[in-house]
Amino acid sequence: MSATTTATLETEEAEVGFLVRAKGAWTVRLVRDLDGPLREISPKRARGRDAVIDLTGLTRLDTAGAWLLHRTSEQLRVAGLRVSYRGETAEIRTLLDVAEGYRFGFNLRLPRPPAYIQLADRVGATLISVANEVRGLLGFFGLLLEVLWRTIKHPSRLRVVPLVHHMERAGLDALPIVCLMTFLIGGVLAQQGAVQLQKFGAEVFTVNMVAITFLREIGILLTAIIVAGRSGSAFTAEIGSMKMREEVDAMRTLGLDPMDMLVVPRVLALVIMLPLLTFVADIMGLVGGALMVWQMLDTSPGVFIVRLSEAADFWTFGVGILKAPLMALVIAMIGCYAGMRVTGSAESVGVQTTRSVVQSIFMVIVLDALFAVFFTAIGI
Amino acid sequence: MTDDDPIIRVRGLRNQFGSQVVHDNLDLDVRRGEVLGIVGGSGTGKSVLLRSIVGLQRPTAGTVTVLGRTISEMEEEERKRLEQQWGILFQDGALFSALTVAENVQVPYREHLGLPLDLMDELAALKITMVGLPSDACTKYPSELSGGMRKRAGLARALALDPDILFLDEPTAGLDPIGAAAFDTLIRDLQRTLGLTVFLVTHDLDTLHATCDRIAVLADKRVTLQGTMDDMLRSDHPWIKEYFTGPRARAAQASATG
Ligand SMILES: Nc1ncnc2c1ncn2[C@@H]1O[C@H](COP(=O)(O)OP(=O)(O)O)[C@@H](O)[C@H]1O
Ligand SMILES: [Mg+2]
């Protein structure tokens, strides 16, 4: 191997003292295997002797090589030797000067405490951040109510164009997916119900089961979850990227209230559209159920409708639909709040979007459970 | 290859996006050990030129030869080896946001060399000192740094493997004048001590005065003029005249000579 593709090291106890010979190309690509041996260099008798680092065999040097030379000379000096270089050229000196500019004692690795402390730390940090999140969200809820009240008092403040735009995006555009999902789930529900009820000879009640579970629970729950995933995340990403590019700040300085411009249209759009979507979802679910029942139990659609009117009264449907505006409010609020919390980087948009979807789906289900208790308590 | 051959040679370069021709028949030479400043109006394709030289952008036509090897004819392996001989500082540093500054500098060591951990730490600290960052910057994440510090950290990463060529895309854009002047000095000092060849895209007249040995002007889809500052001042080309002798140019010149 030639002197330009290898880096070698020789040590020798010579007459002049302890001799370290650096040979070849001491460059960052070649010095890997020198690191260990250099650290282990130990002259026999140390105190008061001379050490010479011989550079005459060097064909190339870069900062990494210079660093190793410097580190070695320091090491020998600490061991009590008088260190000098032999064959030092101007170029080598410049590089050695660079290396000498660095003092030891840099802390490069982030301190990592033991695992149990990290665990406690993370649990604590999570609890605190959840508490902060809840407090922030409640604050935002209050602000939103205030702004909504202001909008009701002065309807001229309402931005109609964005409102309609968001109604289309969050409502109309969600129709196909909502219809498809609820239609399929309606069918599946009827099919599973029929199979189980047949065992008791009670298959006639399949219609009751489908109608009640769908109208009261499944229709609104499915729709709300789809909307939370679709529109809640979109709200966060839209507002978040505007926040990131300082558009929100620009808005404020121009005397426009971001609550009026960005939040109210989205919240209202969702509050208006989610009940409508739920209505469509209920119909599609029942259609899916009816088709499945027709196919499995030979109950014709006409009979299905008669059964339906016996099984479900207005409140079966009303209970489902009543939940929609409140869930819409929560989804839109969480989406917008998360968007407003975006700071600086694009990464933050991603983090907040994930958080917004998880939180709003969680809240939808919590709300649904609370509603179930409430409606049972008041007897409808 | 002798020492007199240009370290980067671009011949007949053509870059086209759809119907928009950015470069047409562009020739450029960068000599070993010089600082070459690339100037040109916004959108004249300075960044595209840089990207074509380092192989991030495949030119429509023409050849780019770096260190005697032609970029477009190279195998993957050879490309990788060549890439280790240059360092690039992107406009905003392009640091990896999930890594600390020290870890950013260590990425090339980890990926290409597999150095021992302790040595990696020492070399990263050395590079971070070299670019003039304080020691407590090592464990910070890019989002915790100011713009100027991010650029210095980006420079430290670009210098990690002791490259022969350093590409800089508008290194002083977005810095305050004092920070920009300090960065100019830093580049010049590093270039002298490490014997670097520097390809410097800039808008900044002060940077041109302070750091560049030669200047290449991008206009009319090619390098209209390549030469020293004096050559620029003598040119009759309207854009070059406007650029180098306009009111801001006179101020920069005064501060460089005065
Ligand atoms: N990937 C791309 N696709 C289409 N057009 C591009 C692309 N990259 C650059 N351009 C165009 O090439 C031109 C030159 O861009 P650029 O090199 O970034 O200019 P500058 O000189 O300001 O750095 C611009 O007009 C830009 O629109
Ligand atoms: Mg550019």
Q: Which atom of ligand 1 is nearest to the CA of B18?
A: 4
A3-100 CATH choice from 3.60.20.10, 3.20.20.70, 3.30.750.24, 3.40.50.970: 3.30.750.24
End-to-end CA distance of chain A: 90
CA of B137 to the centre of ligand 2 (A): 28
pLDDT in tens, B23-41: 999 999 999 989 999 998 8
Query: Which has more pLDDT, A297 or A288?
Result: A288
pLDDT of residue A34: 86
Q: How near does any CA of chain B get to the CA of A73, in Å?
A: 15
Task: Give the best residue of B126, B144, B164 to mutate against chain A (max A CB count within 10 A).
Answer: B126
CA of B215 to the centre of ligand 1 (A): 21
- The partner residues of B26 in beta bridges, in order of sequence, read B13
CA of B201 to the centre of ligand 2 (A): 8
Q: Does the pLDDT at position B16 exceed 80?
A: yes
Alpha-carbon distances, residue A379 vs A326, A373, A374 (angstroms): 20, 10, 9
pLDDT of residue A51: 85
Would you call B84 an interface residue with chain A, using a CB distance cutoff of 8 Å? Answer: yes
- Ligand 1 pocket, mutate which of B47, B49, B220 (most atoms under 8 A from CB): B47
CA of B26 to the centre of ligand 1 (A): 16
Is residue A333 within 8 Å of A137, Cβ to Cβ? yes
Kindly provide the residue ranges of all beta strands, DSSP E only, lying in B82-173, ordered along the sequence.
86-89, 165-169
**Around B37, how many Cα atoms within 13 Å sit in the side-chain half-sphere?**
26
pLDDT in tens, B137-182: 888 888 888 888 888 899 999 988 889 999 999 888 878 888 888 8
Residues of chain A with CATH 3.30.750.24: 3-100
Q: Which atom of ligand 1 is nearest to the CA of B15?
A: 12
pLDDT of residue A46: 61
Q: Does the pLDDT at position A4 exceed 70?
A: no
Q: Which ligand is nearest to the CA of B219?
A: 1
Taking residues A14-27, report their average pLDDT.
83
Taking an 8 Å cut-off on Cβ atoms, the answer to whether B127 and A63 are in contact is: yes
pLDDT of residue B149: 87
Q: Which residues, 6+ apart, have CB-to-CB distance to A286 below 8 Å?
A: A186, A210, A211, A214, A215, A308
What 3-state DSSP class applies to A167? Answer: helix
Separation between Cα atoms, residue A356 and residue B144, nearest integer Å: 25
Residue A273: pLDDT band with limits 50, 70, 90: very high
Query: What backbone torsions phi and psi does residue B162 show, to the nearest 5 degrees?
Result: 50, 65
pLDDT in tens, B191-210: 888 888 999 998 888 888 88
Q: Which of B125, B139, B143 sits opposite A102 (nearest CB)?
A: B125
**Whose Cα sits closest to atom 17 in ligand 1?**
B45
**Amino acid type, B60:** T
Alpha-carbon distances, residue A253 vs A150, A242, A246, A250, A258 (angstroms): 21, 14, 11, 5, 11
Lookup: tokens for B197:
């060849």
pLDDT in tens, A29-74: 888 888 888 888 877 666 667 888 888 888 888 888 898 999 888 8
Q: Which residues, 6+ apart, have CB-to-CB distance to B155 below 8 Å?
A: B89, B131, B171, B186, B187, B190
Taking residues A275-299, report their average pLDDT.
93
Could you tell me the strand order of the sheet in which B222-227 lies? B86-89, B165-169, B197-201, B35-39, B214-219, B222-227
Q: Does the pLDDT at position A13 exceed 60?
A: yes
pLDDT in tens, A163-209: 999 999 999 999 999 999 999 999 999 999 999 998 988 888 888 89
Q: Does the pLDDT at position A1 exceed 50?
A: no
Q: Does the pLDDT at position A100 exceed 80?
A: yes
Q: How near does any CA of chain A get to the CA of B135, in Å?
A: 6
Q: Does the pLDDT at position B3 exceed 70?
A: no
The percent of residues above 70 in pLDDT, for chain A, comes to 96
Taking an 8 Å cut-off on Cβ atoms, the answer to whether B102 and A108 are in contact is: yes
Separation between Cα atoms, residue A318 and residue B109, nearest integer Å: 66
- In this structure, chain B runs to a length of 258
Taking residues A274-301, report their average pLDDT.
92
- Ligand 1 pocket, mutate which of B22, B42, B220 (most atoms under 8 A from CB): B22
Contact residues, chain A, for B156 at CB < 8 Å: none
pLDDT of residue A353: 95
Which residue in A has a C-alpha nearest to residue B163's C-alpha?
A62
pLDDT in tens, B78-105: 888 888 888 999 887 788 888 899 999 9
Long-range contacts (CB closer than 8 Å, 24 or more residues apart) made by A159-165? A159/A260, A159/A261, A159/A264, A159/A265, A162/A261, A162/A265, A162/A266, A163/A265, A163/A268, A163/A269, A164/A269, A165/A265
Lookup: tokens for A107:
């802390």
Taking an 8 Å cut-off on Cβ atoms, the answer to whether B138 and A107 are in contact is: yes
Alpha-carbon distances, residue A338 vs A211, A237, A256, B76 (angstroms): 36, 9, 20, 44
Separation between Cα atoms, residue B6 and residue A173, nearest integer Å: 59
Residues contacting ligand 1 via CB (< 6 Å): B 17, 22, 40, 42-48
Contact residues, chain B, for A350 at CB < 8 Å: none
In 3D space, the residue among A330, A312, A311, A332 whose CA is nearest the CA of residue A370 turns out to be A330
Query: What backbone torsions phi and psi does residue A23 show, to the nearest 5 degrees?
Result: -130, 150
